[in-house]
Amino acid sequence: MNVTYFCKTCDQVTRVPFTEQSTAVHCTRCSAEQKFPATFLNEDAEGNTVLERCTICGSPELYYRKQFNQRLGLAIIALGSTLSTIAYYYHNLFWTFLILFVFAGVDLLFYIFMRNLLQCYKCNSEFRGFEDSPEYQPFNLEVHEKYHQQRVRLERAQKEQAWLEQQAARQNQNNSDEADS
């Protein structure tokens, strides 16, 4: 399996392979090490290897979704509707609907055979190529909202902190100006 994550050392997105035995991944760009305990990978009741926690931030909350390529999906639909519009223009209703039907079917097949992808709610890291397990949960809006609120609060706190430091620096500047004069 592999993990796609945002490396904080070089500020870039990187994709690194790892196995059940791995206890660290190395950024492909800056080779910064990202360690994680062996307990993050476990086995479920059926003997499948399961990812218990995000190996990047350690959060236990992950969700799985289809790794559907939206651009490809939209391109298929766009091509289908263009071709059916041409058929419609030539008053060929049979072809108009046949084309629409076939292209919708192709999109559906793509969706059905698309492999799953695990994503971390907290740091958005993506895991691919893992074994499926009934332990994995689909996307949950409440959990997503919880992490979103956390991020918003953290950003606000950081901004407040920066503002307070700015004020303190200005105060110091004023004091030293007064002392000088």
Q: Which stretch binds Zn ion (CB under 5 A): 55-63, 136-144, 148-156, 169-177?
A: 55-63
d(CA 43, CA 23): 16
CB of 127 to Zn ion, least distance (A): 10
Residues with Cβ within 8 Å of residue 111, at least 6 apart in sequence: 66, 68, 73
Question: Using the 8-state DSSP alphabet, how is residue 72 labeled?
Answer: H
With binding defined as CB under 5 A, does residue 122 bind Zn ion? yes
With binding defined as CB under 5 A, does residue 3 bind Zn ion? no
Q: Which stretch binds Zn ion (CB under 5 A): 17-25, 54-62, 68-76, 141-149?
A: 54-62
With binding defined as CB under 5 A, does residue 24 bind Zn ion? no
Nearer to Zn ion, 13 or 83 (CB): 13
With binding defined as CB under 5 A, does residue 143 bind Zn ion? no
Report the DSSP pairing between strands 49-51 and 62-66: unpaired
With binding defined as CB under 5 A, does residue 34 bind Zn ion? no
The pair of structure tokens assigned to 162 is: 């920066």
Query: What is the size of the binding site for Zn ion (CB under 5 A)?
Result: 15
The pair of structure tokens assigned to 84 is: 């059916």
Q: Tokens 């062996």 sit at which residue?
A: 38
Work out which of 48, 59, 81, 119 binds Zn ion, going by CB under 5 A: 59
Nearer to Zn ion, 10 or 106 (CB): 10
CB of 109 to Zn ion, least distance (A): 32
Question: Using the 8-state DSSP alphabet, how is residue 130 labeled?
Answer: P
Cβ-in-10-Å burial (0-12, 13-18, 19+) of 6 comes to: middle
With binding defined as CB under 5 A, does residue 13 bind Zn ion? no
Q: Which stretch binds Zn ion (CB under 5 A): 47-55, 100-108, 143-151, 164-172?
A: 47-55
Determine the residue type at 64. Answer: Y
Residues with Cβ within 8 Å of residue 84, at least 6 apart in sequence: 95, 96, 97, 99, 100, 103
With binding defined as CB under 5 A, does residue 83 bind Zn ion? no
Q: Which residues bind Zn ion (CB under 5 A)?
A: 7, 9-10, 27, 29-30, 32, 54, 56-57, 59, 120, 122-123, 125
